Amino acid sequence: MPRISHGEAPSLERLAQAQLGTHQINRNLKFPFEFAVTQEPTPFGYLLPELQAPETLLPTSREIRDGLVNLGIAMVEPEDDSTPDSVTPSAYTYFGQFIDHDITFEAKSDSLASISDPDLEPLPLEAITTKLQNGRTPSLDLDNVYYKPAPRQGSRLRLGVVSPQGNRPPNKDIANDLPRQPPRRDPETDRAAIIGDFRNDENLIIAQLHVAFLRAHNAIAIAGRSFDEARKSLRQHYQWIVIKDFLNRIADPEIVQDVLNQGNRFFRPALDQLFMPLEFSAAAYRYGHSMIRSSYNYNLNFRGPKAATLRDLFSLTAVSGQLGGFDTLPEQWIIEWQNFLDEGTNHARPIDTRLTNELFALPAFGKPMPNEARLPVRNLLRGYLLRLPTGQAVARAMGLPVMTPREIEAVAASVSDEQLAAVRACRFSERTPLWYYILAEAAHRMSSVLGPVGSTIVSEVLIGLVRNSKDSILREDNWTPTLGTSGRFTLRDLLRLGGVI
């Protein structure tokens, strides 16, 4: 059933059921709007299915499972860490998460095995390819914005109104929250956001980005377009941002250009057999977890010594918190996006093997915090469960430089003795879990972007999905943006279109 009681440890499958339950409740209510269309589940698969062999996977043993838990725990950023921020503005961290929530949602493996099981073993290949279902269309089509239960009003999408409290940042109107259910005694539906993917109410920055998308759609509709026209236009401009702005900020621009010019080499699904590659969703695209900061200069109310902590940003949502005790977002928490763009002070943490402490006690996973409430532990165990090949095997299969054990150990040693010990304990420097390898590769190069394997997987999959998307700009001759200035359209332009900067 819908939302999970606060403080309880939910499985992802339960969270997915929660969303379905919300739909059912909505269906029984007489809302003054129509529902957007629903979607059919699609499968998961592998970019490199030939690597499903013992020599290219991690061995199956209790020792490996425990080793992954220890490695995840050792990925915490040391308290006295002095590594400088990356050059990537933090808006792109959450734009990355927003894309994730548009294209992939794997909730089924939690019902096939418990990630907390000390004897966890990889699922049989057949179960992975036949039983897992993607809860999102693997397509850059904004289903997280447009699909059920997103409420429509004519050609527009409905927004929520903020609650009066504190100092509303200048030039902000009240339509700056997600549309929400009213307060209810039932913790599962209480103030739940009525949006295409409930995960966009998991932290306040992604929730505010979702608001920007709703507002951008409305701006196009208000200019005289029908709902379908506005949706197509927003989708296409979003695809443009992904390819022209976002990808070049997080992946090696040469690799991005190569995939655009030469076409995909590894991700080439037939149009009617689209799938989500697990090397991407369970490893490479989780690179973003390392970009998350522990605090943000959020707006004029919450900056400097009063900067918003990640904990604040969780607590001001309905999935991870209680909206600060208000019916809707308190207006003093409306975001000021200029702080999150190039000129702002919030720059992402570098892509590397250290994650901010807050991600080691995710509020959605209950108290006292089990090991599985630590995000890196979840990522590593998920990769093991889903039979991800090692980083070295993927690099070799793609014909890319393979990191040496020495290089991997040097990355681990630069974080902490504990991380180095955890990497050595199970010979993870020779056969490295793919997610850790992707992060190590980026850290080794000490630039703000992913390394060769990470850049290749992320560019191939995102560009491949755009090619196969509804209203794809890569299937139209020379599509160029109509909403920006002189053929340019970036994330900043989208925020401007939505009237949030």
Where does this chain bind ligand HEM (CB under 6 A)?
12, 93, 96-97, 100, 104-106, 202-203, 281, 285-286, 288-289, 292, 362, 375, 378, 382
Question: What tokens does 190 get?
Answer: 């209480």
Nearer to ligand HEM, 201 or 331 (CB): 201
Decide: 444 and 403 in contact? Cβ < 8 Å. yes
Q: Considering the complex, what minimum distance in angstroms separates the CB of residue 312 from ligand HEM?
A: 12
Alpha carbons 66 and 74: distance in angstroms, whole number? 12
- Omega cis (within 30) before 149: yes
Nearer to ligand HEM, 85 or 327 (CB): 85
Decide: 105 and 99 in contact? Cβ < 8 Å. no
Decide: 350 and 85 in contact? Cβ < 8 Å. yes
Q: Considering the complex, what minimum distance in angstroms separates the CB of residue 492 from ligand HEM?
A: 18
Nearer to ligand HEM, 235 or 286 (CB): 286
Non-local (6+) Cβ contacts of 476 within 8 A are none
Q: Considering the complex, what minimum distance in angstroms separates the CB of residue 340 from ligand HEM?
A: 13
Q: Considering the complex, what minimum distance in angstroms separates the CB of residue 287 from ligand HEM?
A: 6
Distance of CA 204 to the CA centre of its chain: 13
The neighbouring-strand residues paired with 57 are 389
Alpha carbons 501 and 490: distance in angstroms, whole number? 13
Q: Considering the complex, what minimum distance in angstroms separates the CB of residue 71 from ligand HEM?
A: 15
Q: Considering the complex, what minimum distance in angstroms separates the CB of residue 4 from ligand HEM?
A: 13
Q: Which of the 8 DSSP states describes residue 66?
A: H
Q: Considering the complex, what minimum distance in angstroms separates the CB of residue 378 from ligand HEM?
A: 4
Nearer to ligand HEM, 283 or 483 (CB): 283
Nearer to ligand HEM, 103 or 220 (CB): 103
Nearer to ligand HEM, 104 or 390 (CB): 104
Nearer to ligand HEM, 233 or 239 (CB): 239
Alpha carbons 75 and 357: distance in angstroms, whole number? 9
Q: Which of 36, 47, 3 is nearest to 282 (CA)?
A: 47
Q: Which of 474, 456, 401 is nearest to 259 (CA)?
A: 456
Q: Which of the 8 DSSP states describes residue 268?
A: -
Alpha carbons 375 and 448: distance in angstroms, whole number? 22
Q: Considering the complex, what minimum distance in angstroms separates the CB of residue 433 from ligand HEM?
A: 13
Nearer to ligand HEM, 156 or 354 (CB): 354
Decide: 388 and 280 in contact? Cβ < 8 Å. no
Question: What tokens does 424 get?
Answer: 């050595």
Decide: 252 and 455 in contact? Cβ < 8 Å. yes
Q: Provide the b/e sequence for 408-443 (b: ≥16 CB within 10 Å).
A: bbbbbebbbebbbebbbebebbebbbbbbbbbbbbb
Give the residue closest to ligand HEM by C-beta: 288
Q: At what angle do helices 253-262 and 452-467 cross, to 10 degrees?
A: 40
Nearer to ligand HEM, 97 or 328 (CB): 97
Q: Considering the complex, what minimum distance in angstroms separates the CB of residue 228 from ligand HEM?
A: 28
Nearer to ligand HEM, 97 or 390 (CB): 97
**Strand pairing class (44-45; 276-277):** parallel
Q: Considering the complex, what minimum distance in angstroms separates the CB of residue 417 from ligand HEM?
A: 27
- Cα torsion 454, 459, 460, 466 to 10°: value is 150
Nearer to ligand HEM, 88 or 233 (CB): 88
Decide: 90 and 348 in contact? Cβ < 8 Å. yes
Q: Considering the complex, what minimum distance in angstroms separates the CB of residue 316 from ligand HEM?
A: 12
